[in-house]
Each structure stands twice: as structure tokens, then as C-alpha cells.
Amino acid sequence: MDHQALVRLSKRMSLALRHEPGRFGLVPDRGGWVPVDALLSGLRMSRANLDAVVTGNDKQRFAVEWGPDGVERIRASQGHSIPVDLGLIPATPPDRLYHGTGRAALTSILDTGLRRGERHHVHLSPDVDTARRVGARRSGPVVVLTVDAAAMTRDGHLFFRSANGVWLTDRVPAAYLTP
């Protein structure tokens, strides 16, 4: 499979596992897991292609494991809009985290802080390069905001780290942001 086909498939898997499982006949459990076989038939994809996406994914978006019932299962590691309990445990973040976005959003963000929107959390990156790539998904110039995660932690905000290294928190008030 070429790179573009991998990306297309990864997006369809993200849609099915994070946002619209019902459209593909899937019923994720509380933790967001679905049987691998159900995903394969729901998306009419081969096991080889699934493995290629899971192992070749730039962000390791998907986790595959054997469930307690002996059934192999898959879920997205973050980014859901459907209700899921990922079982994340609060963790101490690095002192600074980063958020990449489009410049068009900057005034609003500096006014009201970072909001989670449709997702369960605000997503933050551990380094500037990753944040820049996240921001480049928006049209127009990219801005990377620095988040004072040390101060947020001192003030009682909770942080979680997804299985693929994305830092998550409920919201980031504007006072902790530097453009």
C-alpha cells in the first residue's frame, strides 16, 4: 500500500473508532474497544492492511491487544468524540507543553483559552515540532502556543498522557498561554 492509501485508511479507521462507529456496524465497549474482526468486516478491509496502518502509523493512533475474553481488540488511543473511558491515569507533565493551531484562531484562544470542542480533552504536544505539524492541519499560517503546564499543575489542573504520547487536559485558561 502506498503512503496516501495508508493515510486514507487511517482516517476511515479514526472515523469508525472515534466518531461514528454505528455507521460501520460497530459497538465499542466502555473503553472504546471493538473486536479486530468486527472492524475488518465493518470497513471491508484486510488484516494485512490493518496491520500496515497500525504499525506504520506516524502517530501510533491505534492500539491492538488481546482482551480479557481472549478476543483480539482495537481502539483509538485518543481523539474520540463518542463517550469512552480510556482509563487514563493523571500524570505529571513536562513544565512546558505546546499547542499548534491556525493563526485565525489565535484571538479567540487568547480571549477564552483552549477549549476541547467536540473531543474529550484539549490535545497538547510534548515538543514544538509536533505542535507545528498539528497546527499545519489548519489552513493559513501556523502558530505554536506555549502552555505553562507547571503552573497549571500547581493550580490543580489534571493532565493525562495517552498511550501514544499526546498530553490531554480539560481546558487551558488563557493565563497559561504564551503565543
Is residue 93 close enough to count as binding ligand HQG by CB under 6 A?
Answer: no
In the chain, what is the greatest distance between 2 CA atoms, to the nearest angstrom? 50
Minimum gap (Å) between residue 9 Cβ and ligand HQG = 13
How many CA atoms lie less than 13 Å away from 19 in the CB half-sphere?
A: 8
Alpha-carbon distance of 160 to 91, in angstroms, equals 5
Of 49 and 130, which has the nearer Cβ to ligand HQG? 130
Residue from 123, 149, 152, 167 touching ligand HQG (CB under 6 A): that is 123
Binding pattern for the stretch 136-165 against ligand HQG, x by CB under 6 A and - elsewhere:
--x---------------------------
Contact between 159 and 92 under an 8 Å Cβ cutoff? The reply is: yes
Q: How far apart are CA 123 and CA 159, in angstroms?
A: 10
Give the full edge-to-edge strand order of the sheet including 122-124: 122-124, 167-169, 160-161
Region near ligand HQG per CB under 6 A, out of 1-9, 47-55, 65-73, 103-111: 103-111
Q: Give the ranges where 72-148 is alpha helix by DSSP (H).
A: 106-112, 128-135
Nearer to ligand HQG, 37 or 75 (CB): 75
Tell me which residue of 90, 92, 57, 59 sits closest to 165, measured CA to CA.
59
Which residue among 109, 144, 152, 168 contacts ligand HQG (CB under 6 A)? 109
Q: Which of 53, 134, 147, 149 binds ligand HQG (CB under 6 A)?
A: 134
Q: Does 119 bind ligand HQG (CB under 6 A)?
A: yes
Kindly list the residues in this chain that would bind ligand HQG in the complex (CB under 6 A): 14, 59, 61, 79, 101, 105, 108-109, 112, 114-115, 117, 119, 123, 134, 138, 166
